Structure 1
Amino acid sequence: MEIEGVRTDRLGLLLDQFDQAREMARVRLAGLGDDEYLWEPVPGCWSIRRRDEAVTPRAFGPGEWVLDKGAPDIPASEYAEVVRQAADGMTVAKIADDWSVGVERVEQVLAHTGPPEPDTSPVATIAWRLGHVHSNFEGQWEWTFGERKDPGLLVDFTPSAALALERFWASIDRWRDSVASVTEEQLDTVGFSRYPHSNDAECPYVTVLAGANLEFIHHMAETALLRDLWRTRFTTSG
């Protein structure tokens, strides 16, 4: 359906949302330099590091530089998703497998009541956020439209901001072009995406796309804030 040139169908709405977020992100990422890209605003940040300097247990990547990744857990921000999974009929064992945690951890989350627990996720650099988003979109593209290669080997992380952005935008644009070709039937197909580091295989593809938009938007917003903090890092109030 189209009203005065504006798409109101499901795919059109998702594409328009993604396009607007992509345009804003391009502006906010313009002029990114290497020092800012790798800036660690607080101790204990997650970032990209040389393989022999990795500080997290599951850091990954195919080349000299790897992306920090910690031990498996369910962050507080995802408790509601676990509750939804259980409500949709997933067993505790299946949920545990989905999040790569023990059954006891899932039971702890499901038993939680009251206000959400504070989010204790580490602060991450711009390099980490770009690498994380790039890796997710490469993996989801590969396991939806590609050959289903090992997700951990798809992105060659780099300390060069310019090269990282060049690769990042090429991946994002390819994703967008492929998604634009999806049919209404495919939007409703459960398992159209088989990306293993997610619950994509259990979801209609339209919900996978909505989740991908959310992932892109919230990480680009966080990256924009880091750029603001970098720009004003030496200023003090009078």
Structure 2
Amino acid sequence: MDTEHTRTDRLGLLLEQFDKAREMAQVRLTGLGDEEYLWEPAPDCWSLRRRSEAVTPRAFGPGEWVLDLGAPDIPASEYAEVARQAADGMTVDKIADDWSVTVERVEQVLAHTGEPEPDTTPITTIAWRLGHLHFQFAGAWEWTFGERRHDPKQMVDFSPSTALTLDRFWPVIDRWRAAVATVTDDELDTIGFSQYPYGSDPDDPYIAVVAGANLEFIHHMAEIALLRDLWRARS
């Protein structure tokens, strides 16, 4: 490892983490074909589908192909995040608005004790995971460095073609990364520097938003890598 040129400032560490994750992800996506891209490894998966064939109530996208999305809820894996939001001073009404759920659902989560229930969120395909990252990073750029007016869920024309998807995907990722690299220390500490409308970005310092974007990219790419392993090993 070249320690002489390793950045140790806050933003530098996050950028280097992202760059390494991006490099590994691009290698792991090499050779991805259309059949594997849309492969559903279990029943009732969320995926990319023609609008007329969507199986979920909030499937979205501007064109013929849309990403599945179910009814709003707070998954068990996010109970701790809801508790953190409440501890940080967010009102129950604001938390409910943040998660697009009822106040009663938030109160139920905050009142929960013991281990969370098993997470019942459906398995998602490689196509879904790539589409999810695509619209999030497109929206993250738009609502931080762009015009802050386009709905992220309508910004990406999803495609069943792996080659076309990746040709569109990497420039969006790299545009976001290049813009983040220009952010100053003061902007990193600015609450609401990002106004991305889905999530807590407007209430967070931008350094936390960047860290969260890294986490989102890393964990979804790790899931994609595992799905590729399962595809290769299927009987």
- The corresponding residue for 2:175 is 174
Matches within 5 A, 1:65-144: 65-144=65-144
Question: What aligned pairs does 1:35-74 form with structure 2 within 5 A after superposition?
Answer: 35-74=35-74
TM-score w.r.t. the length of structure 1 is 0.96
User: Matched residues, percent identical?
Assistant: 76
Q: CA deviation at 1:166?
A: 1.1
Q: Secondary structure at the match of 1:66?
A: strand
Provide the rounded CA distance (Å) in 2 between the counterparts of 1:71 and 1:144. 27
Structure 1 counterpart of 2:38, one-letter code: L
**Cα deviation, residue 116, structure 1:** 2.4
Give the distance between the partners of 2:190 and 2:213, measured in 1 at CA.
16
Task: Render the CA deviation track for 1:76-119: whole Å, top value 9, x for unaligned.
Answer: 11111100110011111110011000011001110111122211
* Alpha-carbon displacement from aligned partner over 1:189-214 (angstroms, at most 9, x marks no partner): 00000000111000000000000000
- 2: CA distance, partners of 1:79 / 1:140: 24
Q: Secondary structure, in 3 states, of the residue corresponding to 1:144?
A: coil
Name the residue aligned to 1:14.
14
TM-score (norm 2): 0.97
For residue 11 of structure 1, report the CA deviation from its aligned partner: 0.2
3-state DSSP of counterpart to 1:156: coil
Partner of 1:154: 155
Q: CA deviation at 1:129?
A: 0.3
1:208-227 deviations in whole A, cap 9, x for unaligned? Answer: 00000000000000000000
Structure 2 Cα separation of the partners of residues 166 and 228 of structure 1: 23
CA distance in 2, matches of 1:17, 1:119: 28
CA distance, structure 2, for counterparts of residue 70 and residue 142 of structure 1: 25
Read off the aligned partner of 2:131 and give its amino acid letter.
G
Q: Does 1:31 align with 2:31?
A: yes
* In structure 2, distance between residues paired with 1:129 and 1:150: 19
Distance 2:165 2:91 in 1: 40
Q: Please tell me the root mean square deviation across aligned C-alpha atoms, in Å.
A: 0.8
Question: What is residue 188 of structure 1 aligned with on the other side?
Answer: 189
Gaps of 5+ in 1: none
